[in-house]
Amino acid sequence: MLEKNDWRLTCQENFLKNAKLIFRTYKTNSSHWDHDHCAFCWDKFSEVEGDLHEGYSTADNKHWICKDCFNDFKEMFNFEVISED
Ligand SMILES: [Zn+2]
């Protein structure tokens, strides 16, 4: 059962409440930044073996959420999955 004081919750509602998310493969889109972290559990996304390679991101690619956290928080945050176009 998910608690309101889950350790992963640190004010993400400020930028992820009602977020529209796209399920996609992680791709480095910058030459000086090769990874991102899950906005909740801080797991690492990158193209390197051993890291997460796919997950949910906001349309602007700014925030990434791993599958586990997406499933845990989708109701609390009212996430909506949209398709990439
Ligand atoms: Zn996570």
pLDDT, one tens digit per residue, over 2-33 is 888 899 999 999 999 999 999 999 988 766 78
- Kindly give the distance from the C-alpha atom of residue 70 to the centroid of ligand 1, in angstroms, as a whole number: 7
- Kindly give the distance from the C-alpha atom of residue 52 to the centroid of ligand 1, in angstroms, as a whole number: 10
Tell me if 53 is assigned to some domain: yes
Task: List all residues 6 or more positions away from 50 whose beta carbon is below 8 Å from its beta carbon.
Answer: none
Residue-range definition of the domain harbouring residue 66: 13-21+36-81
Tell me if 43 is assigned to some domain: yes
Domain count, the chain: 1
pLDDT value of residue 85: 62
- Kindly give the distance from the C-alpha atom of residue 16 to the centroid of ligand 1, in angstroms, as a whole number: 13
DSSP 32-65: T--EEEBTTT-PEEESSTTSB-EEEEETTS--EE
Q: How far is CA 45 from the centre of its chain?
A: 9
Tell me if 75 is assigned to some domain: yes
Q: Tell me how far apart the alpha carbons of residues 73 and 79 are, in angstroms, rounded to a whole number.
A: 8
Tell me if 72 is assigned to some domain: yes
Tell me if 76 is assigned to some domain: yes
Tell me if 54 is assigned to some domain: yes
| Predicted model pTM | 0.90
Q: What is the pLDDT of residues 41-81, one digit of tens each?
A: 999 999 999 999 999 999 998 999 999 999 999 999 999 99
Residue 21: which H helix or E strand, with range?
strand 20-25
